Structure 1
Amino acid sequence: MLQSASRPGPRVLHLTQPVDGGVARVVQDLARAQLEAGWAVTVACPGGVFATELRTLGADVRPWGATRSPGPSLLREVRECSRVVAQVSPDLVHAHSAKAGLVGRLVVRGRVPTVFQPHAWSFEAVDGATSVLALTWERWAARWASAVVCVSEAERTAGMRAGIDGRWHLLPNGVDPLRCRPAPTDVARADLALLCEVVPTAPIVVCVGRLCRQKGQDLLLEAWDTVVRDVPDARLILVGDGPDRDRLRQRAPETVLFAGAVADAVIWYQAADLVVLPSRWEGMALAPLEAMACGRPVVVTDVGGARESMPPYLARRCVVPPGSPAALAQALTTLLLDPSLRASLGDQGRRHVLSAHDAHRTTAAVTDLYHDLTGPWPAAPAAAAQYREPIHS
């Protein structure tokens, strides 16, 4: 356990609904770094394996039974969050993603420093009246955020163009280069053979992400029909789970394998010849950064911070227009048929992540932001006392 037992540091409460994927990884990296720095870290989340891993690090984990989308459970979620905040009495609250940003800001209402990190804007994920309501809320709630952390310039620009008057901070995502590191493909595939049926010599394309409309696996399957005409022995592995799983399975050919949800995707990157993320929208996805850190070339769609996450040489070759299966198929086919180009792109990607997207740099920048917001520690007693009594929404 990393938590110091001698002198408790400032109390930070992370509030998150996603307990898997990139958001969970970001929260876990922040918790680890802040515990090492002497902060008292609490995470409120729905639970599961994610909660167990956080407790192993030494974080205080409080159950918060939030659902992904707003609905009839919202009032209960606000009450549960209010109880957690009252119990923890945080010096700072960091709300991750749309649901936590909604509930956390409703509960805290700016009475202690509050950081909101959208991890991609909610109003871009929905249509019609729901999108209008989400945007109206974000404009209104910006007053209750001491800082809005965006992981890409594209995400910040989208917020500004939408009329959100935020106190903007640009902190690109990062990954741990020790956890995500290159490994011989044959070794990784030997381990992979224990998890799924794959021919060791077959060209392998891996897509890591929640099986949902945002991540665009349906577009990838449409492109894949073209890819296997030119590379008939290629195999596509979809790593992840989600609401579109059954629908995707129904239309997937035999050359597509479903790995399901995994605790850590590193072995899948290491076993891949090529990694792809055909998203419809993103902030700055972790999967391409993790794949590049593993020395693997990546093809992404030109959404959110995708282009920003790559060096210019890779962006010219590996970023394709969103919503275009034809362009996606062409990029995948070209790289599958050119091993030397894949090796070159993978090496450049690894060096780029080491120089620009190391998680240690990102977590240090977030902790510096916390200190800017909370002021010198120890904090003033008046600020810390605001949550000694329960908050009633």
Structure 2
Amino acid sequence: MSSTISSALTGGPDTSDQRSPRLLPKKLLFTISARLGGSGLDLDSFEAVKGAWQAGILGRVVAYDNRQREIPANLVRSLRWHPVRLASFLQTSHYYGAKKKYLDWVCARDVARRDFDMVHSWSGDCLRTFREAQKRGIPTVLEIPTWHRNKGKKKPALTKSERERDALPLPRRWFEQLPPTRQQILEEYDLADVILVLSDCAADTFLAAGFDKERLFSLPRGTDIERFTPGTLPPKFRAIFVGALKKRKGVDLLLETWHDLALKDAELVLVGAVHKEIEEYLARYGGPSVRVVGHVSKPEDYYRESSVHIFPSTCEGSAKVTYDAAACGLAQITTREAGDVVLDGVNGLVVPCGNKEALAEAIKKLYHNPQLLASMGKAARERIVDNFTWDHYRQRLLRAYEYALQRKRGTSQSA
């Protein structure tokens, strides 16, 4: 982490601290509008809940499904058969918005009726719940999967489109407000005692919005170092991208850059679901040297057969694929916007977001230097093992809970 931001974040750069926190909640409520157990966000939520359960502080989990068997079922409330399923015919954003609102209603009622002493939830899921917790003096921890909603930009209280939305007749206005609005999410930020950010870049967007650095806590992700293990460098230079094939991930820029480089005896492998917006780029810049695999259940098999992972994303909290690729011993080419796993010149190369020339130079540098690829890959694996296992993540999370309680007590005493 950069010295400026890491010193501003309570989590700090030393994330391998294994000490037992001195102060923890006794009964935590964890809520998320995703599943508990699986992949992606579902896996992140499971690892967080596992940490609370192992520490003996888990009171209840409310999620939309339970796909794991390690956490006792009596501690997990699944909303799998929720009444909002009747509205599944709605377009995706409105349906998921309705799910979030139902989860929030259920959890706010739980806070009012039960004796929880901390709430941990996710941005967009918890406005009512946090309001109820604030009434009762219960500390709240808010997790941000990407960046501040304003993305580091100055915005008015209401934009033109938001004013137009609020002027709609009541039934339509209610429908358009099913997805969490920017105003609702900003209120969640204000209600949270501690906000968990995944990277320096994510933290910057909150600092730019005027947030007190003391309310931010650095919480990078982790990965499974037993599942994601190194392979051997292939004889053919093989670059891999893993993630949804969309513009936000920089796939359009990667395809154009790869096409223009026209490297000999080289292959670009794209692992992930193809979004419609990227189809024209595949048609224009694809070819014999580009292979589209689609979504796979075992990306580690593809990492192990590759030379370098390229992930030129324009906006991430901290991309999970960068942890997994590094655990597989791959050098990476990423952007600062992708997270903090890659240290420029150590275990990969960090290029400016959206800069085609810089991306091309980075690819050529690793293409022409297999020894550098190997040394960066070794450093990548070591960095993950030393800093970013799921055990490291769970210890950081407990430190975040400890800090939230300390902040709440300090605020109460000074009031």
Same fold per superposition (TM over 0.5): yes
Deviations for 1:226-268, whole angstroms, at most 9, x for unmatched residues?
A: 23x1234423223345564645544433432223223443222
Deviation of residue 24 (structure 1)? Answer: 3.3
Structure-2 change in CA distance of 1:262 and 1:72 (3 Å): closer
Deviation of residue 360 (structure 1)? Answer: 1.2
**Unaligned stretches of 5+ in structure 1?**
1-8, 187-200, 376-393
Q: Is the counterpart of residue 297 in structure 1 residue 297 in structure 2?
A: no
Deviation of residue 333 (structure 1)? Answer: 2.6
Partner of 2:269: 236
- Give the Cα–Cα distance (whole angstroms) in 2 for the partners of residues 330 and 151 of structure 1: 28
Deviation of residue 84 (structure 1)? Answer: 4.7
Structure-2 change in CA distance of 1:333 and 1:291 (3 Å): same
Maintained 8 Å contact 2:273/2:295: yes
TM-score by length of 2: 0.70
Q: Is the counterpart of residue 15 in structure 1 residue 23 in structure 2?
A: no
Maintained 8 Å contact 2:100/2:124: no
Partner of 1:63: 79
Partner of 1:27: 45
Deviation of residue 220 (structure 1)? Answer: 1.0
Aligned-partner SS, 1:355: helix
- Give the Cα–Cα distance (whole angstroms) in 2 for the partners of residues 272 and 42 of structure 1: 42
Structure-2 change in CA distance of 1:105 and 1:129 (3 Å): farther
Structure-2 change in CA distance of 1:33 and 1:21 (3 Å): same
Deviations for 1:156-209, whole angstroms, at most 9, x for unmatched residues?
A: 2211211345721122333232332223457xxxxxxxxxxxxxx543211112
**Alignment partner of 2:342 out of 290, 305, 310:** 310
**Alignment partner of 1:120 out of 138, 146, 150:** 146
Deviations for 1:338-359, whole angstroms, at most 9, x for unmatched residues?
A: 2211001101111222223233
Q: State the percentage of identical aligned residues.
A: 21
- Give the Cα–Cα distance (whole angstroms) in 2 for the partners of residues 29 and 205 of structure 1: 30
Structure-2 change in CA distance of 1:233 and 1:299 (3 Å): closer
Deviation of residue 71 (structure 1)? Answer: 4.1
- Give the Cα–Cα distance (whole angstroms) in 2 for the partners of residues 175 and 259 of structure 1: 23
Structure-2 change in CA distance of 1:275 and 1:304 (3 Å): closer
Partner of 2:125: 100
Which range is displaced more, 127-136 or 216-225? 127-136
Aligned-partner SS, 2:304: helix
Partner of 1:79: 102
Partner of 1:168: 216
Deviation of residue 271 (structure 1)? Answer: 1.8
Aligned-partner SS, 2:346: helix
TM-score by length of 1: 0.73
> One-letter code of the match for 1:93?
V
Deviation of residue 322 (structure 1)? Answer: 0.8
Structure-2 change in CA distance of 1:349 and 1:366 (3 Å): same
Aligned-partner SS, 1:314: coil
Structure-2 change in CA distance of 1:70 and 1:260 (3 Å): same
Partner of 2:187: 140
- Give the Cα–Cα distance (whole angstroms) in 2 for the partners of residues 105 and 69 of structure 1: 25
Structure-2 change in CA distance of 1:61 and 1:345 (3 Å): farther
CA RMSD, aligned part only?
3.8
Deviation of residue 131 (structure 1)? Answer: 9.6
The number of equivalent residue pairs is: 345
Aligned-partner SS, 2:392: helix
Deviations for 1:287-327, whole angstroms, at most 9, x for unmatched residues?
A: 2222112111000023263xx32335337x61111112232
